[in-house]
Amino acid sequence: MSVMPRAEFPPVGRGALLVRVAILQLAVTTSCALIALCWGRGAALAALLGGMNALASSVVFGLIALVCARGRSQRAVLTAFFLGEAGKFLAVAIGFVLIFHVAGSGLSRGNTLVLFGVFTATLVAQGAVATLRKSAR
């Protein structure tokens, strides 16, 4: 009988926080898209694209930070944070390039404002989780 080696996973608290942030950002994106549907399909699509860009970049940050912070030393955690931020910045840039390349002609001026508004609201939701978690301690 052979024993399979255990995979090294991040502590439950860190992974659970990433999942909570992603769920909250998905809820904000969906809510904003449903509200934007009152102004038409284009506005709802812009809301979804903006929120999903923010959500994808947050997931990229979380995964990079969780994978790179295995060393648990302060230097490793700080390096993981900066690598995660660089990955997040790159994901946002690539996301907006794809959005404006693929759906650029379909985005009116008002829909562009919706896109950036929901993107901002989704990132604010991420900050709210961190703030609420800090105040709960």
Three-state DSSP class for residue 35: helix
In the chain, the largest separation of any two C-alpha atoms, in whole Å, equals 65
CB atoms within 10 A of CB 130: 11
Encode pLDDT of 50-63 as tens digits. Answer: 999 999 999 999 88
What's the token pair of residue 121? 């609201």
Of 124, 120, 133, 108, whose CA–CA distance to 44 is shortest? 108
What's the token pair of residue 62? 């979380």
Highest averaged pLDDT of the listed ranges 40-44, 70-74, 131-135: 40-44
- The answer for 108, left when phi > 0, alpha when psi is -120 to 50, beta otherwise, is beta
Encode pLDDT of 80-115 as tens digits. Answer: 889 999 999 999 999 999 998 887 777 788 889 999
pTM over 0.85: no
